[in-house]
Amino acid sequence: MMRICSLVVGPLLLGLALPLAAAERLDPQQMFLQLRPDLGHLQFLWTQAEGDLNGDGMADVAMLLTGSTGTDAGRDERLVILAGTPAGGYRVLSVSADFCHPSKFYNLEIRRGALLVETVETADGGRWGSTTRRFRYNAGRQDLELIGEDTRSEDESSGEAERGSTNFLTGQHVSTTRSKGKTQTTTRQLGITARPFLNGWDCGR
């Protein structure tokens, strides 16, 4: 469910930290103040997750924000990463280009330093279809790097299921299918030469 945020986005630039005490960390609505002025239309917080992504021992925040552009382009969606600062505020670490627009919803989780972003396309009548992308912080680029992608398709009524997992670090793809009570797993090597970084990344391309 979307949460409506009524704050006015201030003219803060990418990377600017707010000088707050550690006990006064911003709540999700106030995080909008970290956005660039050109992203002021992102007035709705879809979902968020908190955890240490860049390994500095401070809590970071991942948010999926959406809003109307007021043009023919319609609704804009962005994955925004805020890095915690020693002063208790946040700085903007990374902002995607237009994100994935799932037909159902998003799930976000930060686990063992990695950000998991699940886009759910099907979730009804015993059926589930989703894609989960795994991002990890790259210190050299100071950005999140896409390191893996998992797909899941299941139908409880038929008992059929298909799962795929791609590791962009090794270039390996593992696919598992279940049909008529039989399970088959195949592994193949992909010709992956480069991995995208989150800042400016367009999910639809």
Q: What is the pLDDT of residue 120?
A: 96
pLDDT digits (tens, 9 = 90+) for 35-90: 567 788 888 889 999 999 999 999 999 999 998 887 776 889 999 999 888 887 78
pLDDT digits (tens, 9 = 90+) for 137-195: 999 999 999 999 999 999 998 989 999 999 999 999 999 999 988 999 999 999 887 88
On whether the pTM is more than 0.85, the answer is no
Residue 44 β-bridge partners: 4, 66
Residue 65: which residues within 8 A CB-CB, separation 6 or more? Answer: 32, 35, 39, 42, 44, 45, 46, 77, 78, 80
Residues 139, 137: Cα–Cα separation, whole Å: 6
pLDDT at 2 over 90: no
Residues 26, 66: Cα–Cα separation, whole Å: 19
pLDDT-based confidence at 18, cuts 50/70/90?
very low
Residue 188 β-bridge partners: 173
